[in-house]
């Protein structure tokens, strides 16, 4: 029925003969950006991964947080803020939505109150998408969700090299006796053989820790760490050079925890640490990774109830997600 | 592809043989209510009105506001709050999503900055849906949008009886010389012959006006008015009896402006007036209209930037929308 | 210079021959209500009281608060919210800005950090205005400011009858050894002979007190008290009848502390007490006082930093102020 | 050391010969109410229950929430708001802190992310306090915590009669397959034999449910239910008469979920339902229970990140807690 | 009448013989900065431009916004934040209010909902002020208002050189078919011959654009552009040197859009872009322009409903406005 | 009584034989950080200073503020944010709570509304603690409180060298005729001989001042000043070298006013000035002071009602306090 409006018309699929990706947002110059159901960047929501380059998926889960909860609403907030993303990346000089077919597959099924089960659900739902050759961009959710993501990617590609930007290395062990919480995903991932520490670089760690030995743990596990106070002394290209040298050849995964930003830039997060990166710095480090090819990405720990009225955290996270998509465009150009 | 998850699986269509409406939300007991892309009550988003009883549509427009803007984000906020709506109305003892096929058609195309053109766009987009026999529930946007809605409904059904709950009668004429603004829709509707004032009842008006004659204008136009200070002395059944007597036979439209609520209950609105209804009172008046059959409904003037952190306005509006759907169930039982 | 715009043109004085008060707001139908420098209701700011019926004055002072501060910004917030007040009171059926000449004289000089001195300053500044026959409507500020107001009014008119709507009787004595704080103004006023308790009625008191005897103190001083739990059982006319009987003949002062409202209606206040009036109830009690002639009014204890994003407290306070002006219109009709 | 200041001096223990309870807050007239570490009402924090009439305990837990999290910060928020509570209840005409020895025992140990284990921890920690003859007033935390409380009380006193004020009956069974969540505590309690449904009355239930049969479940389990729409037609004394008739003789427990209030009064909660009680109504229902003797109380589901800037939810909850203490005073007078 | 207080006394005009500007704020050391009606920096509000060096004018208009509205309240917010500005610029070592006669002329008349008409109104109202030799400092409002400003200045001075600090070049053409919106003012200005692109420098542009060619448009029109990622590599003096070289001789206009700042520094804006300037950097770039003589200035796109509780955006904007006044002092020293 | 729970158990004193300080927080890995009564970092609250290395004390006072009040709630907010501080400083590579015995002594007695008296109370209460050899870390409160602190420290140690990080030098004289306000403490301290200006360095001053001579006053008094625009050109080590050279030998006091931070990083403060430090920069300057031995510290001017929902100001302040404790550890290692 031709005249039916709204969701159907704006978020339509590619018109045959048109030179644009199969799935892309409506044009913000004719469909006001604040209109339409809030999918990521107002991308379409197809039923299967056919013809999709990157699948965006929300993981609305925060059972595993140790301080401020709320990340279960992270996917909604990042989608809401993502409406302002226009198709062309002006710094990277790259078309994004003009080249990449991006679909929003909605949220993964999770089990509130049961972290271990949820990790399994995430892996089970993601694996077929990864196996279909689609790159995944997950919106957290607390950082434990990355464990499910890594299981899916490792199942398809083998152990991945991890590029992490985060205020915490997240390699702690137990929390109040629990093994699955947002401070432990990378320790669990190591134990499960999902990550290759020798091809991984964790950067941005800062803030107090429980004891001196906490600082040695990642290295003991074989990870390279660039702590926050060192990171800020590096130019983006210097950081990227270290990453490139470290990751070598093989499958890669990039995880971005918004708490790597200072609480002034990302107040809406669960475990804020004073003295972090500015958004501009973080975008610079991400952009410098151009050329690297990742099989999966995530942006996690956005907690909307702690964000300001102007949503600076969600805006920063949406822009990081956009830069991750741009990395994908540049890697597959 | 069976294993693909998320949007596709949760918001699926009716399984043949299943005794439920064609379009309905996922079950909140297995799919956490905060998960999934935020359509109204997480209802599906089909491409055509076939098999739809009530179509929910957003109208993200606030060019026509005279005090606080922000209603362009009203549809998003009401959809976000609507996730908490369970299927069965416990006061009306009526299944809602268990009986009614409800789809979210997304947002209508509007033209920011051009009120007159937008009214035309709204009418043009809605009319085929109305003509298909689908009832419409629009989420504003400022109150001018109702003019487009009324054009669509009157085009199909003829002039409608109007049941209005609002702090303002919205029959003013010009504002800074402009004819189309959120204080004038019902005057314009009368001029265009879209509304039958003899079958209409406007209730809840309160707050200061420009001059004494403002109070007489609705009556001069043939409307019945129950002012706010009188309304609160009526029991819901008394109010409903007056409505029933007034509207008689013929097509009906119900418009609910959240500013009929007190600013404590609905701070997130554009033209708040002190001393309004409580949400409980408003729900009572709406519920009492059971048995009346409306061809269209709207809930307007939700302005999220002025809502509190707990979103009381959006929650109230989502629940009013739910009661409107319930009226539809009861009228078509 | 005729073409100069802005403040000067909109807030102009009466054009000779025009049938309206000397000082009145611009017309909101041609000058958008949110435009213009934020005086009370956008009224003019003349340099002397000649031709003024009611002078609105801010008293930006909160040194004397015992819990949450911020009332120093109360005048700004009430002025900001007052822009929505249209000229005609639709319940009282009374022109307000169409009959009454209302000017905003800005804020009184105060001494932050010195409560006793400030009370003196308030009195000294107000007295000449009162003596000029102008009624005053002061916007607080914490409730101690009323002591300065009462000094000015009593100096001109003799001891006044007090009509108080407040969650607290404010007749405590010392606080941390200090005599001048927002819990003591009416005790100080009695000691200074500014108030005639036999012609006064305090209503709305609620919330815990320090000891049982606190409940007897107002009565021991000769005040009549209607506690909050009793007040809400009275219809507005019943309350007003008690007030009329109590106050008899003689000068009157009405003080409205927004904390008489429930924290849901007035979160933006310094000493909130659960379980208060709704705004609608409070407006009803104030409106019922029609016919009484007050020489002064105030609305106090609005603390903007604790108000919600939609400013329900400031909106309620601005509307109470509007009803007070209406009482003045009705008393002098 | 006599001159050491601060915490130690203000929150001191009873001076021998002084006629006041062993544990009580400092005097707000000499120690400003906003000063001091924020224990409940600034009560002392002794190390053992000797000499304590009522123990206040926080249970900072929200793993079991199904919509908005944050109740883990509920105890902090209620303590913060409780500073404004003065010692004497002016409606009940009862000394509270002047008669009752009240201590704040801090927060119970919980296990974030593990609901079942936490319930066990709560019970184990509370039981010795209950066994010592101390009444407990717990500050939630989501409503699942009541299951641990009930275990402790039933272990000492046998199955308790339950007086519940809540928007939900919380007798659902599974949520995403989980047995222990904030919608199931009273079903679990029944299964465990902790509650005597024949001596219990649940009041205030409202909002949509999953299916029609949800409305019958509490009755099928033997509970009496007064739904919200019926409750508001009862005067406090009528409600209390029904409670008294129902509960008969035997141990009693009172649980107050702040979501029984309307979202305008309690926006800061996890599962808000439109159209609830006002704070004034709720206080009235609670006060009417005077004379009943409860062995335990709780106030749950305060979620600070969703509360407004003026903290209306926390203020309401702190006042409900105060009324519960007053019930204790009156029952033991 | 000597004793009349408030607005009149504090905001008085120059006392003959006194060595200070004709119009200046009251002294914050004797008149608390939060007192008084909120004009810009509490400057007087004369009726004509005689004796005024710089006229501050609000333009409360946001019909032309494409994402978040609210800039209609920008002038009020900047005035409110400006109360903290003391007279002497400690970095530029320049008296500001001690040398410059600054008056607040209130807000310009606008037509909500009609962008094209409003632009005409702005021009008509500003032109006589500009023609009187007064420099203008306008407080937006959305960025379309600059088109009216430019018309007024070009009418008097001829085409102006434009110095723009902004996240967007604002030279787009149509938006939903509309020609006048906040993304098009400089294209319209070029078409109307109001701006000399060869004497203009646009700096700070960042964020995604619609297509690659968007980046070329400003240059095609003859503008020089320093994109954001380049700007931050320049020291203030380097930036200023480029500006000086570019603008040469002739009339100049400086426009500052707060969205040039990062959302952490300016969350309260309509079209935030991640990764912008810090306030300190922006102040540095503005200060470096010392010596240049502008005929007009503006600070636009402050949207208070999206600002944080501490108003960082309004504070930043007020300080930028102060630096603009300082440039005026330095240019006319 | 072994089984009693909560406050008592978690915040227990040292177990004999255990290798940790006498007073230290519970372990956040077993006692969730958001649990427990909110003392600073959840440290114990002993009754006397025996065995305490550093005493944390709140000073809930804001009578002396000249712009935005609220600092009376500063101690509560910093305590609340301090729960996230883990024991080991990862940048300074220093145990903090693992080495230092830290106790929270609650809040000092103050007299709201009486600044001069309060300063005396502060001094009287602090002096015995200082005399007992305990270092003090006070949480303001507005900056006037430092005058009381300095009196106590100078009484014991003689005139102290002052290391100040602040946007204002706070050496003004009178404010509205009052001598004791938050802009005058260091002038008063000089007059009283509490500070040795020749051993003092004030850094970070920025923002407009009243007149040019304001800039000379600190120097005239013998202080060294590094203004904000100069400070940011110094690397932390350069700043620290200047401090070391300046302070020489003798008692030292460090005062940190959060307004030295930019309003984006510290919106929750009373006298914000645009263009300040980032939190990261400020932490860097503080950390660089390692090796210096201070007898007292404070962090002042945190005003929670103006902080954002994510509490960036309180988080920054808590981390600064943590760095101050770390300086103490390093100086006494």
pLDDT at F1 over 70: no
Q: Which residues of E touch A28 (CB under 8 A)?
A: 66, 210
pLDDT at C9 over 50: no
Q: Among E103, E78, E86, E80, which Cα is nearest to E23's?
A: E103
Q: Which residues of F touch E29 (CB under 8 A)?
A: 172, 174-176, 210
Beta carbons within 10 angstroms of residue F230's beta carbon: 14
pLDDT, mean of residues D89-111: 97
Of B90, B96, B318, the CB nearest to D215: B90
F176 vs C115: CB contact, 8 Å cut-off? no
Of A68, A176, A262, the CB nearest to F278: A262
Q: What is the pLDDT of residues E121-154, one digit of tens each?
A: 999 999 999 999 999 999 999 999 999 999 999 9
Q: What is the pLDDT of residues E230-265, one digit of tens each?
A: 999 999 999 999 999 999 999 999 999 999 999 999
B319 vs D274: CB contact, 8 Å cut-off? yes
pLDDT at site F18? 60
The Cα C249–Cα F252 span in angstroms is 68
F10 vs D109: CB contact, 8 Å cut-off? yes
Does residue B50 contact residue B284 with C-beta atoms inside 8 Å? Answer: no
Of F67, F177, F229, the CB nearest to E84: F67
The whole-angstrom distance between D121's CA and the closest CA on chain C is: 33
The Cα B113–Cα F182 span in angstroms is 48
Q: Which residues contact F217 (CB under 8 A, 6 or more apart)?
A: F169, F171, F172
Would you give the end-to-end CA distance of chain C in angstroms? Answer: 37
Q: What is the pLDDT of residues E24-78, one digit of tens each?
A: 999 999 999 999 999 999 999 998 899 999 999 999 999 999 999 999 999 999 9
Does residue C300 contact residue C256 with C-beta atoms inside 8 Å? Answer: yes
Instruction: Tell the residue number behind the tokens 């403002």, with chain if given.
Output: B214
E128 vs C31: CB contact, 8 Å cut-off? no
Does residue F136 contact residue F57 with C-beta atoms inside 8 Å? Answer: yes
Q: Which residues of F touch E34 (CB under 8 A)?
A: 67-68
The Cα E42–Cα E55 span in angstroms is 13
% of chain F with per-residue pLDDT over 70: 94
C210 vs D87: CB contact, 8 Å cut-off? yes
C176 vs F113: CB contact, 8 Å cut-off? yes
Compute the C-alpha angle A152/A154/A158, nearest 5°: 150
pLDDT at site C209? 97
Regions in chain B scoring below 50 on pLDDT: 1-14
Does residue C61 contact residue C141 with C-beta atoms inside 8 Å? Answer: yes
pLDDT at site E291? 97
Q: Which residues of F touch E311 (CB under 8 A)?
A: 263, 267, 306
Of D67, D207, D307, the CB nearest to B33: D67
E145-157 and E115-131 helices, crossing angle to 10°: 40
pLDDT at site E16? 53
D66 vs B32: CB contact, 8 Å cut-off? yes
E90 vs F227: CB contact, 8 Å cut-off? yes
pLDDT at site F9? 38
Q: What is the pLDDT of residues F175-231, one digit of tens each?
A: 999 999 999 999 999 999 999 999 999 999 999 999 999 999 999 999 999 999 999
pLDDT at C114 over 60: yes
B315 vs D272: CB contact, 8 Å cut-off? yes
Q: Which residues of F touch C65 (CB under 8 A)?
A: 112
Q: What is the pLDDT of residues D185-222, one digit of tens each?
A: 999 999 999 999 999 999 999 999 999 999 999 999 99
pLDDT band at D16 (very low <50, low <70, confident <90, very high): low
Interface size B-E, in CB pairs within 8 Å, comes to 63
ipTM, 2 decimals? 0.94
Does residue D244 contact residue D292 with C-beta atoms inside 8 Å? Answer: yes
pLDDT at site E20? 76
User: For chain F, which residues lie within 8 Å of any Cβ of chain C, measuring from their own Cβ?
Assistant: 62-66, 68-70, 72-73, 110-115, 117, 175-178, 180-181, 305-306
Q: Which residues of C touch D83 (CB under 8 A)?
A: 67
Of A208, A267, A278, the CB nearest to F90: A208
> Strands F94-95 and F88-89: what pairing?
antiparallel
B8 vs A47: CB contact, 8 Å cut-off? yes
pLDDT at E2 over 50: no
Q: What is the pLDDT of residues E171-215, one digit of tens each?
A: 999 999 999 999 999 999 999 999 999 999 999 999 999 999 999
The whole-angstrom distance between B188's CA and the closest CA on chain A is: 25
Q: Which residues of E touch A95 (CB under 8 A)?
A: 211-212
Does residue C135 contact residue C66 with C-beta atoms inside 8 Å? Answer: no
Of C66, C69, C117, the CB nearest to F62: C69
The Cα D300–Cα D145 span in angstroms is 8
pLDDT at C33 over 50: yes
pLDDT, mean of residues A64-83: 97
B112 vs E180: CB contact, 8 Å cut-off? no
The whole-angstrom distance between D86's CA and the closest CA on chain A is: 31
Q: Which residues of B touch D278 (CB under 8 A)?
A: 278
pLDDT at A12 over 60: no
pLDDT at site E303? 98
pLDDT, mean of residues C117-136: 98
Helix (H, G, I), strand (E, B) or coil at E64: coil
pLDDT band at A11 (very low <50, low <70, confident <90, very high): very low
Nearest CA in chain A to D179: A113
Does residue B111 contact residue B118 with C-beta atoms inside 8 Å? Answer: yes
Q: Which residues of B touch E181 (CB under 8 A)?
A: 112-113
Q: What is the pLDDT of residues C158-170, one digit of tens each?
A: 999 999 999 999 9
The Cα C164–Cα C285 span in angstroms is 11
F178 vs C65: CB contact, 8 Å cut-off? no
The Cα E143–Cα E307 span in angstroms is 18
pLDDT at C223 over 50: yes
The whole-angstrom distance between F224's CA and the closest CA on chain E is: 16
Helix (H, G, I), strand (E, B) or coil at D252: strand
pLDDT band at D18 (very low <50, low <70, confident <90, very high): low
Mean pLDDT of chain A: 94
The Cα F211–Cα C245 span in angstroms is 59
pLDDT, mean of residues C79-100: 97
The Cα D310–Cα C266 span in angstroms is 8
Mean pLDDT of chain E: 94
E69 vs B70: CB contact, 8 Å cut-off? yes
User: For chain B, which residues lie within 8 Å of any Cβ of chain C, measuring from their own Cβ?
Assistant: 66-68, 172, 174-177, 205-212, 214-215, 227, 229, 232, 262-264, 267-269, 271-276, 278, 305-309, 313
pLDDT at site E47? 84
The whole-angstrom distance between E73's CA and the closest CA on chain B is: 8
Mean pLDDT of chain F: 94
Choosing among F94, F282, F308, F311, which should be mutated to test the A contact, i.e. which has the most A CBs within 10 A? F308
Q: Which residues of A touch F308 (CB under 8 A)?
A: 267, 308
pLDDT at C13 over 50: no
The Cα D303–Cα D258 span in angstroms is 10
Instruction: Tell the residue number behind the tokens 């409900």, with chain if given.
Output: D320
Nearest CA in chain F to C306: F305
Return the H-helix or E-strand segment holding B253: strand B252-257
Q: Among B171, B174, B176, which Cα is nearest to B147's?
A: B171
The whole-angstrom distance between F276's CA and the closest CA on chain E is: 7
Q: Which residues of F touch C63 (CB under 8 A)?
A: 63, 113
Does residue A329 contact residue A290 with C-beta atoms inside 8 Å? Answer: no
pLDDT at site A10? 41
pLDDT at D115 over 50: yes
pLDDT at site C47? 84
Q: Among B125, B138, B123, B142, which Cα is nearest to B73's?
A: B142
Question: DSSP character for F159?
Answer: S
**Tokens (6 digits) for B16:** 């043949």
| Rounded (10°) CA dihedral C32, C36, C38, C39 | -100
More confident residue, B131 or D15: B131
Return the H-helix or E-strand segment holding D2: none
Structural domains in chain D, CATH included, are: 7-331 (3.40.800.10)
Does residue A141 contact residue A65 with C-beta atoms inside 8 Å? Answer: no
Rg of chain D over Cα atoms, rounded to whole angstroms, equals 19
């Amino acid at each position: 029925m031709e005249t039916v409006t709204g969701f159907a018309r704006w978020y339509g699929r590619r018109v045959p003969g048109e030179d644009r990706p199969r799935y892309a947002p409506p044009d913000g110059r004719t469909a006001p950006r604040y209109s339409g159901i809030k999918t990521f960047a107002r991308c379409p929501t197809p039923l299967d991964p056919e013809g999709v380059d990157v699948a965006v998926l929300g993981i609305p889960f925060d059972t595993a947080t140790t301080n401020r909860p709320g990340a279960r609403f992270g996917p909604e907030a990042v989608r809401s803020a993502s409406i302002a993303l226009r198709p062309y990346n002006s710094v990277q000089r790259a078309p994004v939505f003009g080249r990449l077919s991006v679909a929003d597959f909605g949220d993964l099924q999770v089990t509130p109150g049961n972290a271990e089960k949820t990790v399994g659900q995430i892996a089970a739902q993601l694996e077929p998408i990864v196996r279909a050759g689609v790159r995944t961009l997950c919106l957290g959710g607390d950082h434990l969700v990355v464990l499910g993501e890594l299981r899916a990617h490792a199942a398809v590609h083998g152990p991945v090299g991890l590029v992490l930007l985060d205020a915490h290395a997240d390699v702690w062990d137990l929390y109040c006796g629990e093994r699955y919480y947002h401070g432990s995903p990378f320790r669990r991932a190591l134990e499960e053989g999902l990550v290759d520490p020798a091809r991984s670089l964790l950067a941005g760690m800062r803030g107090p820790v429980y004891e001196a030995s906490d600082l040695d743990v990642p290295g003991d596990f074989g990870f390279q760490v660039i702590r926050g106070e060192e990171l800020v002394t590096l130019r983006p290209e210097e950081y990227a050079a270290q990453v490139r040298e470290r990751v070598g050849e093989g499958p890669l995964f990039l995880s971005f925890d918004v708490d790597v930003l200072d609480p002034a830039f990302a107040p809406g997060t669960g475990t804020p640490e004073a003295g972090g990166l500015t958004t501009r710095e973080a975008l610079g480090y991400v952009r410098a990774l151009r050329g690297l090819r990742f099989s999966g990405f995530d942006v996690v720990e956005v907690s909307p109830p702690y964000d300001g009225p102007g949503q600076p955290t969600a805006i920063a996270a949406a822009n990081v997600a956009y830069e991750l998509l741009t990395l994908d465009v540049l890697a597959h150009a």
